Amino acid sequence: MRCVIGIDLGSTTTKAVLLDESGDVLGRGVTNSRSNYETACAVAREETLTSARFALLGQALESERGDAKDLIPALRDAFRLELFLVELTDLRTTILRDLERNLLLRSRRSALEPAVIRVLDGVERAAAAMFLEGAPRRSDFFRDLAGAAYVAEAEALARAGEVAFEPIAALFDRAIIDVETRCKPCDVPTLMGRALHRVLARGVTSDATRAALARAVESATRETIEELAAVGTGYGRQTLPFPPEAVRSEILCHGRGAHRVFAGTRTVLDIGGQDTKAIQVDDRGVVTSFQMNDRCAAGCGRYLGYIADELNLGLHELGPLALTAKKEVRVCSTCTVFAGAELRERLSLGQQREDILAGLHRSIMLRAMSLLARSGGIRDQFTFTGGVCNNPMAVKVLRELVAKNYGADITLNIHPDSIYMGALGAALYALDDVRAGRGSALPGFTRSVEARA
């Protein structure tokens, strides 16, 4: 299959989208951005190619009768579990290696090693419950899922008086950086086979369905995916490991991506990790004007991440917690530098953290509304993109502010995959290049990853 890829290198996450020659989305991938941008792009690309295999699986099952196609969601969940277990093994190896090699830890190895093995064994036992049997999808990132389970197991040991919590937690913090910054080509056929075994082991399918799934898995994993062109964009686009002619402005890409998904889009708000963009587009998705925050990351995803760290929460937990607030505490500043100090002061005054978070979300969205006003206001339809659109409290406050200032008849579009709008726009520009016969050379990291495989 011939395709093109778009990669959006953000300050917090790196996203990728794969399109086939007709412009249909074949796969998506997202990973944490890293100090090594080539690694971040390579990991996002690898996840996108893996995701594409499930699209090919669906195509292979189109002509099959029976309930085989209905089992694709279960197969995907089982595959995610297998990926998690592979990374968990890498984490275990890294932690035990650090215990052996670190001179400061070597004297405590006899006490720490059995404890950390028990913690990791507990995480492994709990892994199936994170992915199978309709488990809610809490995060796309191994760090979040493994970190939450690891901390829970370590706290249980600490409460029992068997080991101190801090050194066990420090081992995870040290090792997870190494685990995340290694790009490991995914052995899709092997992991897909294990996932298929998990699904079929439940014994609820007929022999015909089993045979159909086995044929489809073999077909999807053997299909060759040929990348014709790649375009990069995003906050870190100037440092992208792409040829200069294969880099596009994130403003153009977000505007075009949003218009592709919601053809009626005329105004786009993108709140990313490091910047906020208010964009106006015409009926073809061409940008006509825009405004950006121009000084710092105040009111962006990075600020929310810092607050989450201060509260010892996952970033995905902030919005649901804020929704439980009884009142909104007015936040004077959304400056990332002073965020911790103000948060600690308000907590010391007895204010509830959910009330503080509610006020914080309103402050962030008020800053976004100011940018929108300067860009030309909000016109129907209005599309919200970027990672912050996955925050339910941010969405709630934005709806209220839009209705209050522009009327309740404005359509607010939020897609489950809104975080990929920039990468989608980049992929569409890559498709334009191919159709115009001006495709550029693929980035070097695509060849280096294949060489390591």
What pLDDT was estimated at residue 396? 94
Query: Is the pLDDT higher at 292 or at 298?
Result: 292
Reply yes or no on whether the pLDDT at 143 is more than 90.
Answer: no
What pLDDT was estimated at residue 453? 43
pTM: 0.82
Give the Cα separation of 428 and 4 in Å (integer). Answer: 8
Q: Which helix (H) or strand (E) holds 50?
A: helix 37-60
Mean pLDDT of 116-126: 94
What pLDDT was estimated at residue 26? 94
Give the Cα separation of 83 and 75 in Å (integer). Answer: 12
Reply yes or no on whether the pLDDT at 248 is more than 80.
Answer: yes
Q: 180: phi > 0 → left, psi -120 to 50 → alpha, else beta; which?
A: alpha
Mark 71-102 as b/e (b = at least 16 C-beta within 10 Å): bbebbbbbbbbbbbbbbbebbbebbbebbeee
Per 3-state DSSP, the chain is made up of helix, strand and coil in percentages (nearest 5) of 60, 10, 30
146, two tokens? 């493994």
- Name the most confidently modeled range: 18-27, 309-318, 440-449: 18-27
Q: Give the count of beta carbons closer than 10 Å to the beta carbon of residue 106.
A: 12
261, two tokens? 């998904």
Please, are residues 246 and 229 in contact by the beta-carbon 8 Å criterion? yes
Reply yes or no on whether the pLDDT at 17 is more than 90.
Answer: yes
Mean pLDDT of 419-439: 91
Reply yes or no on whether the pLDDT at 283 is more than 60.
Answer: yes
Q: Where are the alpha helices (DSSP H) in 132-245?
A: 142-159, 165-180, 188-200, 207-222
356, two tokens? 């503080």
Among 56-60, 68-72, 145-149, 175-179, the minimum mean pLDDT is found in: 68-72
Please, are residues 390 and 315 in contact by the beta-carbon 8 Å criterion? no
Give the Cα separation of 183 and 262 in Å (integer). Answer: 34
Mean pLDDT of 304-328: 85
What pLDDT was estimated at residue 451? 47
What pLDDT was estimated at residue 383? 96
Among 133-137, 290-294, 324-328, the minimum mean pLDDT is found in: 133-137
* Confidence label for 427 from pLDDT (cuts 50, 70 and 90): very high
> What is the SS3 assignment for 270?
strand
Percent of the chain with pLDDT over 90: 38
* Confidence label for 273 from pLDDT (cuts 50, 70 and 90): confident
Mean pLDDT of 123-129: 92
Q: What is the pLDDT of residues 329-346, one digit of tens each?
A: 887 665 656 667 777 888
Reply yes or no on whether the pLDDT at 398 is more than 80.
Answer: yes
* Confidence label for 204 from pLDDT (cuts 50, 70 and 90): low
Reply yes or no on whether the pLDDT at 394 is more than 50.
Answer: yes
Domain boundaries, the chain: 79-180, 263-414
Radius of gyration of the chain (CA): 23
Mean pLDDT of 134-146: 80
How many angstroms separate the Cα of 40 from the Cα of each of 10, 33, 182, 356? Answer: 10, 5, 9, 33
Mean pLDDT of 300-321: 82
Burial class (CB in 10 A: 0-12, 13-18, 19+), 389: buried
Query: Which fold would CATH assign to domain 263-414?
Result: Nucleotidyltransferase; domain 5 (3.30.420)
Percent of the chain with pLDDT over 70: 91
Write the secondary structure of 342-358 as one string of H (helix), E (strand) and C (coil). HHHHHHHCCCCHHHHHH
How many angstroms separate the Cα of 29 from the Cα of each of 20, 185, 301, 388, 435? Answer: 15, 14, 19, 17, 24
Mean pLDDT of 401-410: 94
Please, are residues 288 and 295 in contact by the beta-carbon 8 Å criterion? no
What pLDDT was estimated at residue 258? 95
Averaged pLDDT of the chain: 86
* Confidence label for 206 from pLDDT (cuts 50, 70 and 90): confident
Mean pLDDT of 6-25: 90
